[in-house]
């Protein structure tokens, strides 16, 4: 059983991550490939991802990642450093910046006396830079085949979960929010205690620290917390997608934007551009990320900018693009982020120079 103890002020510090965390999704996806949990929901995804792993020559890479991050009562905390981190690159940077003493200690808990330590784990524990860089590349490539193609469904599920949490918080405050996570979590208001089924007995005392609740598409059955009680507290909870989600997402189109309703509105390529501009990218970087020519990337960014979905600014000789809040709202399917429409008589072209989003 996992028990999270709240002080009086801790309830005011609870936060809910607005978007899925790429590394938590990556780790849970890796675990799903090591087990048969939720077979009805995830077996079609397993088959598709395993085919992609073979096609991309990632079999040995995924096997190595599975040894480092086994589906077990313990897996290393350093692989999931985020508290709702939205960018894969920044999350991987955090992984690669893990202090050496933590690498050694956490890997030492994975590879105990009855499990031989592979050479790559020994090098990681020593903080070997080339090995760390190889780990970062392995994480990125696994994300590309196991998580990125399904981001549309993942984001849709997170966006659907968020209003229910907001309504619970508005009606019942922090107590109402925590109570809304039943049956995965049990909130005992009288004792300020949050409980969850867990493979080991854990007591987590917040002691004035903020607890971040992170929704996860690939998390199954029960919530997950970091093993080290000294790290910033997070609790990752399952979103429990319905059987058939993969088939439904494929009916909307192909690729990473297949499950995004926005792809039906602006087209799959522009939806992919909008998705990529979660972080600032130059036109050249955008083209390289999506394998588009410079002129094509520039043209799509211009159209999105004129629609108010992207903001562009000059930096030296380059133009940097970034998604605007309106673009975030469109991508997440959140109508509350959109401005009210103009009356019909005034619905004219946007003023020249109006702010736009990628």
For tokens 């609740």, name the residue: 213
Quick one: pLDDT at residue 278?
A: 80
Characterize the bridge pairing of strands 212-216 and 15-16. parallel
Structure confidence at residue 236 (pLDDT):
95
Q: Residue 266's pLDDT band (boundaries 50, 70, 90)? A: confident
pLDDT at 81 over 60: yes
Q: Is the pLDDT of residue 89 over 80?
A: yes
Q: Judge whether residue 353 has pLDDT over 80.
A: no
Q: What is the mean pLDDT of residues 179-188?
A: 90
Residue pLDDT, tens place only, 233-261: 999 999 988 888 888 776 654 444 444 45
Q: Per-domain residue ranges for the chain? A: 2-18+153-238, 22-151, 260-346
pLDDT, mean of residues 4-30:
93
Q: How confident is the prediction for the chain on average, in pLDDT?
A: 84
Fill in the DSSP letter of residue 195: E
pLDDT category of residue 336 using cuts at 50, 70 and 90:
very low
DSSP assignment of 333-356 = T-GGGSPPPPPGGG--PPPTT---
Q: Give 351's pLDDT tier (boundaries 50, 70, 90).
A: very low
DSSP state of 11: G
Share of the chain above pLDDT 90, in %: 52
Can you give the pLDDT at residue 357?
A: 32
Residue 35, pLDDT > 70, answer yes
Q: How confident is the model at residue 265 (pLDDT cuts 50, 70, 90)?
A: low
Give the residue-averaged pLDDT of 15-39. Answer: 94
Cα–Cα distance, 131 to 137 (Å, whole number) = 10
CATH 1.10.260.40 is held by the domain 260-346: no
Segment 164-187 mean pLDDT: 90
* pLDDT surpassing 90 at residue 48: yes
73, with CB counted inside 10 A (0-12, 13-18, 19+), is exposed
Condensed to tens digits (0 to 9), the pLDDT of residues 126-136 reads 999 999 999 99
CB 168 within 8 A of CB 274: no
């Amino acid at each position: 059983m996992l028990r999270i103890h709240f002080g009086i002020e801790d309830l005011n510090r609870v936060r809910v991550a607005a978007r899925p965390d790429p590394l938590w999704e990556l780790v849970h996806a890796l675990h799903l490939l090591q087990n048969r949990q939720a077979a009805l929901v995830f077996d079609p995804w397993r088959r598709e991802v395993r085919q992609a792993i073979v096609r991309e020559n990632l079999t040995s890479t995924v096997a190595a990642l599975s040894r480092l991050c086994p589906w077990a009562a313990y897996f290393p905390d350093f692989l999931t450093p985020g508290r709702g981190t939205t960018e894969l690159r920044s999350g991987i940077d955090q992984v690669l910046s893990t202090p050496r003493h933590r690498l050694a200690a956490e890997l030492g808990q994975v590879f105990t006396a009855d499990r031989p330590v592979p050479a790559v784990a020994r090098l990681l524990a020593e903080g070997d830079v080339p090995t760390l860089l190889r780990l970062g590349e392995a994480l990125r490539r696994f994300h590309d085949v196991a998580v990125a193609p399904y981001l549309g469904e993942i984001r849709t599920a997170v966006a659907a979960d968020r209003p229910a949490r907001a309504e619970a918080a508005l009606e019942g405050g922090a107590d109402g929010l925590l109570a809304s996570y039943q049956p995965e979590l049990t909130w005992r208001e009288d004792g300020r205690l949050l409980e969850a089924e867990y493979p080991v007995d854990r007591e987590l005392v917040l002691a004035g620290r903020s607890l971040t609740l992170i929704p996860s598409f690939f998390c199954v059955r029960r919530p997950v917390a970091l093993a080290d009680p000294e790290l910033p507290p997070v609790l990752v909870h399952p979103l429990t997608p319905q059987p058939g989600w993969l088939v439904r997402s494929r009916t909307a189109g192909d690729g990473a934007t297949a499950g995004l309703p926005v792809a039906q509105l602006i087209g799959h390529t522009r939806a992919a551009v909008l998705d990529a501009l979660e972080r600032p990218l130059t036109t050249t970087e955008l083209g390289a990320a999506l394998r588009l020519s410079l002129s094509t990337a520039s043209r799509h960014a211009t159209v999105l900018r004129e629609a108010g979905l992207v903001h562009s600014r000059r930096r030296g000789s380059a133009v940097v693009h970034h998604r605007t809040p309106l673009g975030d709202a469109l991508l997440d399917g959140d109508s509350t982020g959109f401005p009210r429409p103009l009356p019909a008589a005034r619905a004219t072209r946007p003023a020249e120079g109006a702010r736009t989003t990628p």
